[in-house]
Amino acid sequence: MTAQLRGDNIRFTVYDLAGEAPVPVGVVTLLPDPSVRTAEYVIMLAPESRGKGLGTAATRLVLDYGFHITNLRMIWLKVLAPNTAAVRAYEKAGFRAVGSLRQAGYWLGQVCDELIMDALAAEFPGPSVIAA
């Protein structure tokens, strides 16, 4: 991953390293609120790159960066409840479900809930692979 600063936002490009050359396959963004040391997490991966573990790996690295480099205390996200593959990837990376926004989204044309998930610095395992 490579990092870019966009205003207060922190953006990373996600690369697939499985081939002969790195291929960019997505973007991850942290939207920080420095006054309370939290950030919203957003990831977008190309459809053909999903299901390969890239989302989980990128999410772990961004949590590591957020907690160990930028000193955030909590990172949160929203995900559509029927997107079970994304929910599993977020849980593997260190997020946990903490609530929902009822009927806040659409999945395949049907109304659905959005799950709210968070990860806490105090619960994130170390040592950091980035700071090492």
Catalytic annotation, pick one of 15, 41, 65, 90: 90
Spell out the alpha helix ranges (H) of the chain: 54-64, 84-93
Q: 3-state class of 94 per DSSP?
A: coil
41 and 59 in contact (C-beta within 8 Å)?
yes
Residues with Cβ within 8 Å of 78's Cβ and at least 6 positions away in sequence, in order, are 101, 104, 114, 115, 116, 117
User: Catalytic: 41?
Assistant: no
Angle formed by the axes of helices 84-93 and 54-64, nearest 10°: 40
So which residues are the catalytic ones? 90
